[in-house]
Amino acid sequence: MDERFTRKERICIVGAGLVGSLLSIILGQRGYQVDLIEKRCDMRKEDIPGGRTIAMSLSHRGFEALSLVGLKDYIKQHTVAKSSRMVHLKDGTVHVQEYGRDGQAIHTINRKFINSALLDKAEATGNVNTYFESQCVNLNLDKQELELFNKQTGKCDFRQYDRIIGADGVFSKVANEIAKQEQANFERFSPEYGYKELVIPTDSENNWKLNNKVVHVWPQGHFNLVALPNTNKTFTCTLFLKLNGEISLNTLNDHKLIANFFNKHFPDVSRLIPNYCEQFMENPVSKIYSLKCAPWQYRNKVLLIGDACHAIAPFFAMGMNVGFEDCTVFESLITKLDGDLDKVFDEFSRVRKVDTDAIADLSLQNFTSLGTSDKSNYHLKWQINRLLWNKLNNDWMPLYPMIAFSSIPLAEVRRRSTLQAYLIDKIINEENPSEVTDQWIDYIHTKYIKDELEKKNAYTNGVLEA
Ligand SMILES: Cc1cc2nc3c(=O)[nH]c(=O)nc-3n(C[C@H](O)[C@H](O)[C@H](O)COP(=O)(O)OP(=O)(O)OC[C@H]3O[C@@H](n4cnc5c(N)ncnc54)[C@H](O)[C@@H]3O)c2cc1C
């Protein structure tokens, strides 16, 4: 253990979800004494799902954080790799769009599996005590004191700490307390869309019913169906649709309406999920949330992390990855600031918020993009992007690989992708290409792109290059 970091500060992390558990390992491995408080029961002992959505996509930013605590290889062994998106058209034809290149893939992991592995690792540090069925019901920010309700005894007790970290998700109690302070700015926003999950079972021989190396998308403009492979050879299928309105999650409420809806828009579903009407009726409607807030901390003693301060819509499947990247940033600040947690708490949001705001915006934009991924213009843009990436390497990377396969700061990702999208729109408008060849790419590079990228590089002065 690094001697610089063996301060005996007592830290409480509220929320033993994905981000709180990972952060507790980082702190525990550094020698800090951590209490990890969770309102639900211990998912490793009880037969409960590990929270919402079962199948999660892990990508580069998430793996980077897991490697810090020695869990990357173990977790990777329990994932299913997906290197492309398969777009299903209504007439039964499919388009395959690779996510990256040279075998780059995102990986599906079971939420309960990864959360349980993080909890085991946290306890194994010897410095993290876990408390389940213990809910933070009140918080005194000035005294760093929590009131905890113990669900088993039905009693409350009070505990005081040197520091408190709120990793308690989008409805964070800790964030709500900070929000009561003057000049706090909290924007918790629920888009008009929600989602419902269905499961595609295995076939009669216990095999995958669809290609398991890809994410399946059935785009319909204003609503989409997405299916992710699970390690047990099933798929988790998510329907994103408006919550209210003529065709909406709340109005699809009987077998006939549901059957009509799926037969009209997603005819593949009745073949893949024989009991889709029953599943649809039984499974809950979930809302989507996006949260931007400031400040993320209170007097350098109480801090927010993960969804508690920056929940993002799931259209890039990045919330966990970004929360894990928070932990990477937090860890690097501990090193940089010699373990001075006052400074770390103060600095954290200054360096991080600009990136989480960027991915929140990009995620909302991606819903529209997913919905139009069957359109010919989408495919054309995708092709141009790919060929420019081949030609220019890191000077031109399509948006998805920048998000999923790089560590480029997310605010820089947004800046680059905005410029790239602008240039591609301009090229398509002015050139109206019918075919995309390597020679044509050379031509548009010289005519439209070279100078713009040189201007951009002069502007960023190379500092933000990947
Ligand atoms: C449909 C959908 C699909 C998604 N898919 C992906 C994906 O594929 N990849 C990806 O990277 N991200 C995905 N996400 C986002 C991801 O789920 C979240 O970003 C991630 O769970 C955030 O982790 P967290 O630990 O910050 O919060 P949470 O996972 O919400 O954990 C918070 C924890 O705090 C506990 N808690 C709350 N209040 C209290 C309290 N008062 N006292 C004690 N404990 C408390 C909760 O019980 C919970 O265990 C998806 C989200 C949705 C909605």
| 100-151 pLDDT, tens digit each | 999 999 999 999 999 999 999 999 999 999 999 999 999 999 999 999 999 9
Q: Are 363 and 355 in contact (CB under 8 A)?
A: no
Q: Are 71 and 24 in contact (CB under 8 A)?
A: no
**Alpha carbon distance 342, 125 (integer Å):** 23
- Would 85 be classed as within a structural domain? no
The three-class DSSP label of residue 80 is strand
- Would 157 be classed as within a structural domain? yes
Distance 170 CA to ligand 1 centre (A): 7
- Would 465 be classed as within a structural domain? no
> 302-335: per-residue pLDDT in tens?
999 999 999 999 989 999 999 999 999 999 999 9
- Would 419 be classed as within a structural domain? yes
Element (H, E) at 333: helix 319-336
| 120 and 149 both lie in a single domain | yes
User: Which whole number is the average pLDDT over 334-341?
Assistant: 94
| 45 and 122 both lie in a single domain | yes
Would you say the CB of residue 166 lies under 6 angstroms from ligand 1? no
| 237 and 386 both lie in a single domain | no
| 304 and 185 both lie in a single domain | yes
| 70 and 164 both lie in a single domain | yes
Residue minimizing CA distance to atom 31 of ligand 1: 17
| 210 and 115 both lie in a single domain | no
The amino acid that residue 262 corresponds to is F
**Alpha carbon distance 454, 435 (integer Å):** 27
- Would 429 be classed as within a structural domain? yes
Q: Are 248 and 242 in contact (CB under 8 A)?
A: yes
| 308 and 271 both lie in a single domain | no
Distance 456 CA to ligand 1 centre (A): 36
Is 374's pLDDT higher than 80? no
| Average pLDDT over the chain, rounded to an integer | 91
Among the atoms of ligand 1, which is closest to the Cα of residue 288?
A: 53
> 33-54: per-residue pLDDT in tens?
999 999 999 999 976 654 456 7
Provide φ and ψ at 163, rounded to 5°: -145, 155
Single out the residue of 427, 462, 458, 466 nearest to residue 445, CA to CA: 427
Pocket test residue of 26, 56, 111 for ligand 1, highest count of atoms within 8 A of CB: 56
Would you say the CB of residue 236 lies under 6 angstroms from ligand 1? no
Q: What confidence tier does 437 reach under pLDDT thresholds 50, 70, 90?
A: very high
Residue located via tokens 């990045």:
318
The full DSSP string for 421-442 is HHHHHHHHHHH--S---HHHHH
Pocket test residue of 40, 168, 189, 304 for ligand 1, highest count of atoms within 8 A of CB: 168
Is 457's pLDDT higher than 90? no
| 141 and 53 both lie in a single domain | yes
- Would 95 be classed as within a structural domain? no
Residue ending a domain, choose from 348, 366, 384 = 366
The three-class DSSP label of residue 162 is coil
Would you say the CB of residue 15 lies under 6 angstroms from ligand 1? yes
Residue minimizing CA distance to atom 51 of ligand 1: 314
Single out the residue of 141, 145, 164, 142 nearest to residue 23, CA to CA: 164
| 445 and 323 both lie in a single domain | no
User: How large a percentage of the chain has pLDDT more than 70?
Assistant: 93
- Would 312 be classed as within a structural domain? yes
Edge-to-edge, what's the strand order for the sheet holding 286-287?
94-98, 84-88, 214-219, 224-229, 235-242, 193-200, 286-287
| 337 and 361 both lie in a single domain | yes
| 161 and 203 both lie in a single domain | no
Residue ending a domain, choose from 246, 262, 287 = 287
Distance 15 CA to ligand 1 centre (A): 9
**Alpha carbon distance 385, 399 (integer Å):** 9
Residue located via tokens 């599906």:
108
The amino acid that residue 60 corresponds to is H
Tally of domains within the chain: 3
Domain assignment of residue 262, given as a range: 193-287
Residue ending a domain, choose from 325, 346, 366 = 366
| 359 and 410 both lie in a single domain | no
> 257-299: per-residue pLDDT in tens?
999 999 999 999 999 999 999 999 999 999 999 999 999 999 9
Q: Which residues contact 167 (CB under 8 A, 6 or more apart)?
A: 13, 14, 15, 16, 17, 19, 20, 23, 304, 305, 306, 308
Q: Are 300 and 37 in contact (CB under 8 A)?
A: no
Q: What confidence tier does 464 reach under pLDDT thresholds 50, 70, 90?
A: very low
Would you say the CB of residue 194 lies under 6 angstroms from ligand 1? no
Q: Which residues contact 418 (CB under 8 A, 6 or more apart)?
A: none
Residue minimizing CA distance to atom 49 of ligand 1: 17
- Would 94 be classed as within a structural domain? no
Would you say the CB of residue 50 lies under 6 angstroms from ligand 1? no
CATH number of the domain residue 330 falls in: 3.50.50.60
Residue minimizing CA distance to atom 38 of ligand 1: 168
